[in-house]
Structure 1
């Protein structure tokens, strides 16, 4: 029972990827606020697509969420990180554009499982 609870409440590492890592910073802030309001322990941060390899090889990543502007990288990242079982998905364009942090957090948590 202890192991099951440990998995449910463990820290979630959610990485948002965009061209330079800047356009997602407001979305990260809104996701962090939503996580805090829901008592979800999550490390949520944005990186540039050029930093993905470095981050994935140096940190635990539970999910990669791609900004709509880098959605073309989805297949590449899925193939590259398949052996690490890291889900890769594009952020819903409406949620991204409207900066709906709660919706994007929900998407990330569903992908993590």
Structure 2
């Protein structure tokens, strides 16, 4: 699965990205993941299956879906804040099934 993480500047999602990579690896899942800011996602989204958006930019969800045509959803605030990888993995799988 190839996941694009989008947040305001790409910094907070970079931290989450590292935790997700570790969690996926521990669970024997293959994952390619990249964290980018809002200004960058349109340049790279073609290489990804789904988009997960940080809660701080969830107000741009409609625009992101329209611009990319990819399954996308916002990560719930609590899951994002505590890097709840099991819940984020469930959300990613749900989106991937819509692809």
TM over 0.5: same fold?
yes
5+ residue gaps, structure 1, are 1-11
Tell me the number of residue pairs that the alignment of Structure 1 and Structure 2 aligns.
97
Alpha-carbon distance between aligned partners in 1 of 2:17 and 2:24, rounded to the nearest angstrom: 10
Q: Scaled by the length of structure 2, what TM-score is found?
A: 0.90
1:7 matched residue in structure 2: none
Q: Scaled by the length of structure 1, what TM-score is found?
A: 0.80
User: Which residue among 52, 55, 60 is the counterpart of 1:68?
Assistant: 55
5+ residue gaps, structure 2, are none
Q: Highest CA radius of gyration, 1 or 2?
A: 1
Segments of 4+ moved more than 6 angstroms: none
Alpha-carbon distance between aligned partners in 1 of 2:3 and 2:20, rounded to the nearest angstrom: 10
Contact conserved, 1:74 with 1:88, CA < 8 A, in 2? yes
RMSD of aligned alpha carbons: 1.2
